[in-house]
Structure 1
Amino acid sequence: MPGAVAAGPAAAQTFDFLYIEANEGNASGGHAALRFGEQVYHFQHVEPGLIRLYRDDFAAFRFAYADQQNRSLRGHRIEVAAEVYQALQEACKRRLAQQNRELGQLRDLQEDFELSLSLNAAEPAPPLQLRALGYFLDTYRLTPRPALANDRGDSPELVELRGMAAQHYGPEFLAQKRQALWQELQTLSPSDPNEPALRPGQLTFAQHYKNRLLNLAALDVLLAALPPRSDAWLTATDALFRLSAAQRNALSQYRDATRADLIRLLHSQRPDWGYPLLVGMARLHALQQSLTSGHLTVLDRRSADADPYAPAVDLPAALQYSRQLLNTANAQLAALEPLDERGYAAIEHSANALFALLRAETEPDAAALPRFSNTPDKAAVGDWPRVPLPAAVSAAYRAGAAKRLADYRQQLFERYAYHLWQRNCVTEIFQLLNATVAALPEAAADPIQSAEHALGAYLDSAFPNPIPFAAFDRVGQAYRSIASYRLPAYRERQIRARYRTQPDWWVDLQESNSLSSSLYRWHDQDAAFVFFTQDAVWPRPLQGGFNLAAAALETGYGLLSWPWDQGFHILKGLKGGAVSLPELVFFNIRKGSFPQLLPDFKPGAG
């Protein structure tokens, strides 16, 4: 072990190289990650064929992989100098921010191309998702004059906000602002339809269009004094959400500050002021509801976004520590400092997680925990009103949008294209580590020497390093590893607990298969199988044979059910066969999973 005999660096810190064991499902060959304190960075394959960096809290990461996916986690603790540790952390943060920006731009270019297809087209345009408008409406249609139907009664909060706007800017301010926006939408045109690429910070034509449309929709909501929809917020009477006098005072002050911010926002020059205006108006109602009821009420952040380019902002496993987050966030309500946007957003986010968990515990049908948006984002469906562009301009814009999208997508593929062996979760980690230590001020000219000095060794994508378990072994042997550990998977921990109260032979017999197991219940995310083959090595080929037969039966059933399940069981059966074949040669992949498992949480507990 070259790294083991080397002297540790002065003022050392440690990070962990994690290996997540294989299982059926995502990363069926295993997974790798880097852990810095309570933050985990890991690369995943995302559609359409890119490899992307994610960041998760370690408690959430462990729950998702070790509990829900039933994979044991192994770790090597690597000792490095403090400046190396800091540089590695910063490199991960920069890569994450860069990819978020780049994939966000890819999404914008895709939307721009979709808008170009809808211009002057005879067929209906696809529905448009308008952020945050869903707190007030489910659908929105643009009209020359404000025409929102309000059958819910005027909102006192928006009536007051409308009066403050008139007092500050004049009685005709909102109507005139709305008319000006309408005229802008009618005359909006691409600045240069043939522009080959976007300049840094430049908005696409679709972004300009959506911004103005959402600005107009927000003004229509304010002019109609429309109250939020009944499903816009979340509230509960549990003691966990009861507000003290000090907390209610903090929320009252924050409500007043929010109202003042919205008045200033109405005169803002930022192009997308409609979105924060909608969020602020919806929050005014949630804050007022909190003050009136004495229990915390927040906007619903559950997200239906299936955008593959959207950054991961929350894992269902974040619920494991959301109560702690809520307690910490609530402490700010009783602090001497005024509550600000960041503090209130933390309360809103953690309360959403707890509401989801409470609902999952009381409503079995809701046990699948949702994702949450990073900011309030409940969308409404809007139509693409036709932009009256000349035919030549429309054609040029359509061709330019297609080329910009194709060129940018190709650039991303050149930088981030996923490959099973050449570019996966392990090779990206080694590339990031090596590039970071090679860029240090005191680094040697030779990157191999730099890695040896900083980490204890130089590891790259040479075979067998791209295989996660092989990479984990190499890291333990070559890097400056000072400790190793293993965190057992959920099923293993539960079996050990049963050994303490039941005879070992009975537990082994009962839990050896999916038919008699008291822990495992089959679900449609796992292919059909009979035996858990990770428990013993020598019976594995025989057990694997039964599992292979189960996979064949599911495939056969899939041939019959294909007309109504679109091949779902055929694919599951084939996948079950793929993970059963290694069992015939004493190798285990499948371990069963527990996706409906909920974190250990008791409402109101101390």
Structure 2
Amino acid sequence: MFSSALHAKAFDYIYITASEGNASGGHTALRFDDETYHFQHYDGGIIRLIKDTSTDFDFQYRYLENRTFHQAALNLNDSDYEQLLNHFSLHFLLQKQQDDIRKEINLNIALLNNQTQHSQLNIKGAGLFSIKAVPRKTESLTNYQLQQQINQKYGADFLTQRIVQLKSEVNALHPEPWPKNSLQLSEVTFSPIPYSFASHYLDSISKILLLETIKNNYTLNPQHYFSPEPSLFILSQAEISQLKRFQLVLSHNLLTLINSQRPDWGNAAFSLYARIISLSLSIESGKFVFLDTFRDSSPVIDYTEVARYETKLLAQKNNALARIVQIKAALFTEQHIITEKTYGQLEMLSNYYYEREDNLQNKQGIRISGEQLLASKSISLPEMLLPKITDRQIAEGLARFEAYQQSIEQQLHALYGYDLFTRNCVTEITRTISHLPTNNQQIKELSQLTDKNIISFIPFGSFRNLSDDYTKQALPSFRHQQLAAMYREENSAIVFLREFNTLSATDYKFNDQDAAFLIFTDDNILMRPIFGSINLVAATIMGLYGSFSLAFDSGKALKDGTMGILMSLPELAFFNIRKGSYKHLSFPAN
């Protein structure tokens, strides 16, 4: 008994309180240390298992969405813990692979329909380079040295011959039927994803464009690199020497990559070659030149919102700069060998910093998130590079893939169709656990959680029905954490009078994610019906105003007022949904 206690591991069942927006009736999740699994409802009526890092999950729900967590921990021995974790991990991977099959079918349909603006029909990394810009002397020298290394390793005509070979392969490609086992989905069996016509075609085009970029000495796109001004980014001679050694490693990796059997090496080679060039620019100028690593789809806020949240964005910029000092010092220690990961972390954080520094200074919109470890700017597939196949091949291919699409969608709905009462975030957790062969009585009880009573299928009811074997605690939302700190440091009456409403609250700014309301009701149960009545009046006034302003705001005020009324009605019956959400918070240090 003593030995098993020493080796016990706890997993957590989490109930996330109700709120406006996603999972408005509450949500549930299972947490295994730094991984959190939960089921999410998607457009089209599908419910799928999601895996998040626990820190990201907390930041989204407890901080940005301002929801309190009710967490119940259950100790398991190592074997049962690993079995349960692996079961959810495999289930996640299986559903992800099935979704990838669906995406692969849609990609082929888009290519055969010549939908060049389709989000999947792009060449990743190709946008990092420009055909029109004139290369700088440093870029030309780096390109010349790389071509010399290629000639030495693979022969003088390697680039030309490889391009001709790839173009020949592309011209021979055409849509082919998929094997049956790729089109039969199951909750327990993985279905292989074929290397389809569209993926093969796009990969080959990517390789051709990459080799032509090297052969023709195309320059880095000036829009996709930058050099921050602060002296922190100036390089010493010792640091330049380390960057040169790092660049040699990357050049060796690129030489290996362009002749590898990896099917998608073109995308990776674009990013690698761009980093090699940016390092040359850093070495020549004596200060860091970084690639723009933001995703193409990074969310942007306009300057009106930037100005509103300027204090928070300035704090984020300064915190990032302080962090860069630490990362740079660690990167250039005497014994440290720079790796792509460690350099990527510095580049990613520098993107985060520079996006705020440059656009705050120039009064422009800001990409609020989306920076990555590796730059990968895409271009749409050029029309001149669309497949050269016959009309008959196109028609037959489309008919085949549209039939695949219909079959896969039907199977996905049969396997994972969402239902508010029988297939939701609670029932899917217990259902998934019930498929696990186990002798552990506590796990078996959890799999039967939704059978206990009429409310056990809702998040609140499921948590209430957990046995006393669980150690339970509440993890306060962001606003409740802020209020607790204020109450410790200030007069309680002053804090209450200032923070109970949205007009004078210091930690909350009304934003377009929240329906109209005046008073917070999540922290005052006894006064909730009275406060809810005030919120109802405010929302009704907003709705009436919206009915007269339809022609000017496209119905926004009417929609906000209507949603405000819906969120206020439960408050009259002592029930709170609305919490007020937060935008542009810094990630908590702890």
Q: Which TM-score tier does this pair reach, normalised by the shorter chain?
A: 0.7 to 0.9
The aligned length equals: 559
CA contact (8 A) 2:182 2:193 kept: no
Superposed CA offset, 1:40-81 (max 9, x none): 222222333322333333333323222221112221121111
CA contact (8 A) 1:540 1:584 kept: yes
SS in 1 for 2:273: helix
Match of 1:467 in 2: 458
Match of 2:531 in 1: 543
Equivalent position amino acid for 1:129 in 2: N
How far off is 1:131 after superposition? 0.8
Q: 2:109 aligns with which of 88, 106, 113?
A: 113
Counterpart Cα distance in 1 of 2:174 and 2:256:
29
The 1:372–1:266 alpha-carbon spacing in structure 2 relative to 1, beyond 3 Å, is same
CA contact (8 A) 1:153 1:226 kept: no
Q: 1:34 aligns with which of 26, 30, 33?
A: 30
CA contact (8 A) 2:66 2:581 kept: yes
**2:565 is the counterpart of 1:583:** no
SS in 2 for 1:88: helix
The 1:550–1:50 alpha-carbon spacing in structure 2 relative to 1, beyond 3 Å, is same
SS in 1 for 2:71: strand
CA contact (8 A) 2:11 2:73 kept: yes
Unaligned runs of 5+ in 1: 1-6, 138-147, 308-315, 445-449, 602-606
**2:75 is the counterpart of 1:76:** no
Counterpart Cα distance in 2 of 1:348 and 1:90:
34
Match of 1:144 in 2: none
Match of 1:498 in 2: 486
Q: 2:521 aligns with which of 533, 539, 560?
A: 533
**2:134 is the counterpart of 1:151:** yes
**2:173 is the counterpart of 1:185:** no
Counterpart Cα distance in 1 of 2:512 and 2:585:
15
Superposed CA offset, 1:305-346 (max 9, x none): 389xxxxxxxx9x99999879957974664857444455445
Match of 2:264 in 1: 272
Superposed CA offset, 1:153-191 (max 9, x none): 462322321222223233332123223333333443223
Match of 1:168 in 2: 153
SS in 1 for 2:47: strand
The 1:558–1:107 alpha-carbon spacing in structure 2 relative to 1, beyond 3 Å, is farther
How far off is 1:595 after superposition? 1.4
Does 1 or 2 have the higher relative contact order (CA < 8 Å, sep 6+)? 1
Q: Which is worse superposed, 454-463 or 531-540?
A: 454-463
The 1:57–1:239 alpha-carbon spacing in structure 2 relative to 1, beyond 3 Å, is farther
Counterpart Cα distance in 2 of 1:300 and 1:570:
40
**2:383 is the counterpart of 1:376:** no
The 1:207–1:248 alpha-carbon spacing in structure 2 relative to 1, beyond 3 Å, is same
Equivalent position amino acid for 2:543 in 1: T
Q: Which is worse superposed, 343-352 or 421-430?
A: 343-352
Q: Which is worse superposed, 19-28 or 334-343?
A: 334-343
CA contact (8 A) 1:23 1:30 kept: yes
Superposed CA offset, 1:103-126 (max 9, x none): 22322211111122239xxxx875
SS in 1 for 2:222: coil
Match of 1:407 in 2: 407
Match of 1:447 in 2: none
Match of 2:129 in 1: 136
SS in 2 for 1:302: coil
Equivalent position amino acid for 1:255 in 2: Q
The 1:461–1:204 alpha-carbon spacing in structure 2 relative to 1, beyond 3 Å, is farther
**Aligned 1:193-232 pairs, distance under 5 A:** 200-232=192-224
Q: 2:507 aligns with which of 507, 519, 522?
A: 519
Match of 1:45 in 2: 41
SS in 2 for 1:118: coil
How far off is 1:364 after superposition? 7.8
Q: Which is worse superposed, 286-295 or 535-544?
A: 286-295
SS in 2 for 1:40: strand
The 1:518–1:269 alpha-carbon spacing in structure 2 relative to 1, beyond 3 Å, is closer
Match of 2:302 in 1: none
How far off is 1:149 after superposition? 3.4
The 1:343–1:596 alpha-carbon spacing in structure 2 relative to 1, beyond 3 Å, is closer
**Aligned 1:322-471 pairs, distance under 5 A:** 331=330, 334=333, 336=335, 338-349=337-348, 351-353=350-352, 369-373=368-372, 375-384=374-383, 385-436=385-436, 438=437, 443-444=438-439, 450-452=440-442, 454=443, 458-462=447-451, 463-471=454-462
Match of 1:312 in 2: none
TM-score (norm 1): 0.81
How far off is 1:218 after superposition? 1.3
The alignment's C-alpha RMSD in Å is 3.6
SS in 1 for 2:218: coil
The 1:88–1:565 alpha-carbon spacing in structure 2 relative to 1, beyond 3 Å, is farther
Counterpart Cα distance in 2 of 1:79 and 1:472:
17
SS in 1 for 2:568: helix
The 1:126–1:149 alpha-carbon spacing in structure 2 relative to 1, beyond 3 Å, is same
How far off is 1:526 after superposition? 0.8
**2:250 is the counterpart of 1:253:** no
Counterpart Cα distance in 2 of 1:427 and 1:465:
9
The 1:114–1:464 alpha-carbon spacing in structure 2 relative to 1, beyond 3 Å, is same
Q: 2:88 aligns with which of 85, 88, 92?
A: 92
How far off is 1:398 after superposition? 0.9
